[in-house]
Amino acid sequence: MTRVGRPRNFDRDEAVIKAMHLFWEKGYEPTSLKDLKGCLGNISSASFYAAFGSKQQLFEECLARYMDLNSEWLKSLKDSQSCARDALYQMLSDTIQCQLDSQTPKGCMTVLAGLNCCDENHEIQVVSAQARHAVRLAIIHCVERGVAQQELPADTNVNSFAMVFDSYLKGLSIEIRDGATYEELQSSLRFIMKLWK
């Protein structure tokens, strides 16, 4: 029987994107090595480990790629030249569009892919939490800018205010997986932005 190895035209960057979509759609633990090898062109186990090291290492690379692809939105939250409220609104609006995109899995990878892992996969939960924390920090910086620019009262509890919007952001993934429409989500966004008058 001929052994299936890595295809000669194996594109590693393309493979990482495919694996990212699979982890994003199914989650870390439900995604098996067989699933990964299949989506990468039925490469052999030896080729998989040679290319990516391990399933965990591939997940971490996919998560880093996901964060890189979404980094511009986080940068916009720190743009001192723009109104902080507008920056937050735009980031959330863009997130809704992205998470509904028919070309990618629904929802957010950092929210959906690395939760509820068994003890042996604790590190997956840790790196996923770190990615989510990076988003929370970006929102905190935006709220701090809003206070500094007097868009918000000086006595605003920055961490609590940011947590409200970050919790909304995380909740979008569940709502979208459950079938919420673009119109419903945009309506909810306009509603929550009333907190930032």
- Tens-place pLDDT, residues 157-171: 999 999 999 999 999
Q: What percentage of the chain reaches a pLDDT higher than 70?
A: 95
pLDDT (0 to 100) of residue 158: 98
Give CA angle at 148 (145, 154), nearest 5°: 120
pLDDT bracket for residue 149 (50, 70, 90): very high
Q: Please report which confidence band the pLDDT of residue 2 belongs to, taking 50, 70 and 90 as the band edges.
A: very low
Q: How does pLDDT run across 58-93, given as a tens digit for each residue?
A: 999 999 999 999 888 788 888 888 899 999 999 999
What residue numbers bound the domain in which 45 lies? Answer: 12-62
In a domain, 190, yes or no: yes
What pLDDT, on the 0 to 100 scale, is given for residue 9?
66
pLDDT bucket at 197, cuts 50 / 70 / 90: confident
Cα gap 13→196, rounded to integer Å: 40
Does residue 114 sit in the same domain as residue 184?
Answer: yes
Does the structure show a pLDDT above 50 at 23? yes
Number of domains composing the chain: 2
Q: Is residue 118 part of a domain?
A: yes
Judged against a pLDDT cut of 90, whether residue 21 lies above it is answered with yes
Rounded Cα distance between 180 and 22, Å, is 22
Clarify whether residues 22 and 91 are in a common domain. Answer: no
Q: Reply yes or no on whether the pLDDT at 150 is more than 90.
A: yes
Q: 140 and 58 in one domain? A: no
Q: Across all residues in the chain, what is the average pLDDT?
A: 92
What are the residues whose beta carbons fall under 8 Å from the beta carbon of 32, sequence distance 6 or more?
A: none
User: Under 8 Å CB-to-CB from 66, ≥6 apart: which residues?
Assistant: 20, 24, 109, 110, 131
| 23 lies in the same domain as 110 | no
Q: Is 4 a residue whose pLDDT tops 80?
A: no
- Domain at 177, CATH number: 1.10.357.10
Q: Classify residue 182 as exposed, middle or buried by CB count within 10 Å of its CB (0-12, 13-18, 19+).
A: exposed
Both 141 and 74 in one domain: the answer is yes
Q: How far apart are CA 24 and CA 108, in angstroms?
A: 7
